[in-house]
Amino acid sequence: MNLLGIDFEDWYHPQLVEPFVPDAKKIPTMFKGLDKILELLRKYDIKATFFLVGELLSSNPEILDKILADQHEIGFHTMKHTRLDVPNFKPIFKEEIKEFNKITSGKSIGFRAPTFSINEKSSWVIDELADNNYKYDSSIIPAKTNLYGIPKAEKSPYKITSENLDKNDEKGSLIEFPLLVTKFLGKTIPAAGGFYLRSLPLKIIKNAIKSYERNEIPSSFYIHSWELTPEFIPKIKLPIKNRFITFHKIEKTFSKMENLFNEFDFTSFNSYFKKI
């Protein structure tokens, strides 16, 4: 089975965008596209996990009700989409996870780190999640990029601890669901969504999923809310590299996801948990 996480964040949250948007212009718009995303999932009878940036619920609390009404799962994506490895974030995270628990009535058991930022500097988050009754994380990419990645991490789900981020640790109470990777030109690269879904030939993504299926490994896939609803992104000026990585072929995302939904089954992390 394949797992689908929708990172529900706004257009100004991505790491390569946020520094170039003044606070006064950080106006949420992604809530306008939620119905479009939910309709897409209904069309293919797919349940997903929505990893929510908590601050979006403050301005538009109906987001939570709409997602839950369609029997999708809620996950935690921090309150403001802050990288976990920024200095002195640990005490802030302690308060954020409590706040998210309160505004979602304790419905979240899963977490995804913004920009997949779990690493040696932020390994403390595993203990915090376990202490707050979380059951799983899906933030590890077993490949190395300029922004993230733990290349030696296992590809199959494993018990993760703050001491062992990349391999099974029987002492762990938290299950890690690593994101999908594949081989391309002899190098291991991410294939789980985002920029790689938009930029790689779809055949490469499909072959990666099929490879996981043959090996009976659940492939963890992700997509950002703003990638599915780019019509709600205002025009912004970014450095050329940042703009390319963030928005390259973004107009193809929706159709590519439909293509995958036509061929593969996806479900939420919580639904998968109930079957194992």
| Phi and psi at residue 256, to the nearest 5° | -65, -40
Kind of pairing between the strands at 174-176 and 136-137: parallel
d(CA 53, CA 58): 10
The Cα-based distances of 233 to 32, 48, 51, 91, 276 in angstroms read: 11, 23, 19, 32, 39
Chain centroid to Cα 4, Å, comes to: 9
State which fold the 2-275 domain adopts.
Answer: TIM Barrel (3.20.20)
- Flag residues of the chain having pLDDT under 70: 276
pLDDT digits (tens, 9 = 90+) for 151-185: 999 999 999 999 999 999 999 999 999 999 999 88
Q: What is the pTM of this model?
A: 0.96
Q: What is the pLDDT of residue 58?
A: 86
Q: Is 21 left (phi over 0), alpha (psi -120 to 50) or beta?
A: beta
Structure tokens at 28: 């949420």
